[in-house]
Amino acid sequence: MQIYTNTTNLIICGDININYLKSSNYKTQLDYLLASYNLSTAVDFPTRITKNTCTAIDNIFTDKTKNSDYTVEPIINGLSDRDAQELVLHNVLIINQKTQFMVNRLINDTTIAQFKLNLSYENWSDIYVDTNFRNFLNTYLRNFYHSFPYKKSTY
């Protein structure tokens, strides 16, 4: 499975637990890895502030060649020892590509034969069409839906 192509607009965000306010070997290694996907940090302010420290361990990484016009701001929520970050992408063109689906039943010689076989295994002695049509119909439809399930396809 491929997660990245040069046409993918990849944005990664989350609790990275690497302080981007200080230089470290972990930060350098992560920067090299992210640079291989053309990603760089977007957060340049503290995201966790305590009485004794302030760190930027929650981050957003974006491709600045695809997202050159953006702002990142802290959202102070007061619920946690960390602030949230809000990434706003400006002048982004979103193409809405609606996929068309068609739903139909797969009916062919094989599924018809399976349907007939399934019906032959049913106990029809307790079902009288005149007096118990509902039971007959339920049995028939259960076998029909099982033998000819819906198949979703795109076009």
Domain layout of the chain by residue ranges: 11-89, 101-154
Residue whose tokens read 């944005």:
11
Residue 3 confidence (pLDDT): 60
* C-alpha distances out from residue 98 to 57, 106, 140, Å: 37, 24, 37
pLDDT, tens digit, 9 for 90 and up, residues 24-57: 999 999 999 999 888 999 999 998 888 899 999 9
Alpha carbon 105 to its chain centroid, in Å, reads: 27
**Mean pLDDT (the chain, rounded):** 85
pLDDT, tens digit, 9 for 90 and up, residues 88-142: 988 877 777 777 788 898 899 999 999 999 999 988 776 665 567 777 888 889 9
